[in-house]
Amino acid sequence: MRLEPLFPALATLSLALAGVIDPSIPSAGDLFAGIDHFLHHTPSHPQLLEVHNDYFDITTGKKRKLCVLHPRGDGKHDDQNFKAAVHECGKGGIIRLPDANYTIGNPLVTELHDSVLDLHGWLSFSADIDHWVKHRMPFEFQNLALAWIIKGENYVLDGNDIGGIHGNGQAWDSWAKDESNKYGRPMSFAIVESKNVVVKNWSVIQPQFWASIIIRSENVLYKAYYVNATQHDPGARRHFLSWLQNTDGCDTYKSHNVTFGTPTTHPSISTVELTCVENMVYQGGDNCLALKPNSSMIIAKNVTCFGGTGIAFGSIGQYRDVLDFIEDVQMEDITLLPSTQHLMTNGLYFKSWLGYPIGEPPNGGGGGAGYARNIKIWNVKMEKINRPVFLQSK
């Protein structure tokens, strides 16, 4: 480490500690804070970021800016370097992460416009639970939290069949083993206030909480999407839920035109206007898919779920005097199977709250209104499901 930048501060600090009175000299506390910031601040490392201004993109046949980011390694955080790459190429460019692992130690907000995140490894979120809870990014529904927010329009997240997110979920599963929706436990990534988005060849391994959520967005395609939440804690073996509660595969909330699959059966629905997940595989202990309030025009095709609580519609009516709806849903070629670590408790189930409140969200609620309508599901395969079709009112 170069210490020369500290010399003026140390010299001034010696005067302050010696009791020399000079109003232009900061207090000793201020100086200590400045030195601590110098020693512990994580700056971006330009030498790890390559910027190519005239890269020829064969997918578009045009030149665009390319940023190639390499990790710091040894578990050192790559947050600042990732932000620098997005700053350089997040508008109209390609952000390429070619290496095996990048460590993320803090919540992220990423804005992408007409750009591609080209990931060939893993964004590995650190397991410092106290830090994540302290710095949580709140999500208004059920007082939940988010780890990574992606916003913008006309962007692609591509995991190239070899990468995506590793959430270090085992630490979170064990920490929250006896409490559903435990405060501060963050969702791995969220598509927020976005339009015209493709998430493809993308995996989420060991999510911290829900693997993914689509919030106030439209025209989103998930293609070749894989989620695996596996329990390795020996203490969970005899537990009914294997401590894997709240490991949903993907949820939607206040989003329009969301599809899990290609709607080839119904050509009258414009695929340009659809948010779509195509060819999804889930293994975990909670909802494979969950359509939260105010989700409309949802299509799911070729979705396979191993273990958990099936595909959920709702819940609706959780918040007093709020109108919720789920409508215009089509699902086909759905497979629901038990896994070796978790029973398949439900197949397709619909959840609503009573017309009066019992407790408060996230685990209580009621007193709202709502409806679910125009829902069509066909070609569903189920094996060893306790409740193949289930209506639940809390």
Read off the pLDDT of residues 158-176 as tens digits, 9 standing for 90 and up: 999 999 999 999 999 999 9
Least confident of 170-184, 218-232, 268-282, 295-309: 268-282
Which among 346, 347, 348, 333 has a CA at the least distance from the CA of 301?
Answer: 333
Task: Say whether pLDDT at 53 is over 90.
Answer: yes
Q: How confident is the model at residue 276 (pLDDT cuts 50, 70, 90)?
A: low
The token pair that represents 213 in the structure block:
């959520």
Q: Do 220 and 272 touch, CB atoms closer than 8 A? A: no
Which among 308, 319, 328, 324 has a CA at the least distance from the CA of 377?
Answer: 328
Q: pLDDT at position 3, please?
A: 44
Task: Say whether pLDDT at 9 is over 90.
Answer: no
The residue extents of the domains of the chain are 1-41, 136-393
Residues serving a catalytic function are 286
**For residue 351, what is the DSSP state?**
E
Please state which CATH number belongs to domain 136-393. 2.160.20.10
Give residue 384's region: left, alpha or beta (phi > 0; psi -120 to 50).
left
Angle at Cα 277 formed by Cα 244 and Cα 212, nearest 5°? Answer: 35
The token pair that represents 256 in the structure block:
């329009």
Q: pLDDT at position 44, please?
A: 62
| Spatial separation of the C-alpha atoms in residues 160 and 90, rounded to whole Å | 19
pTM of the model: 0.85
| Spatial separation of the C-alpha atoms in residues 72 and 117, rounded to whole Å | 19
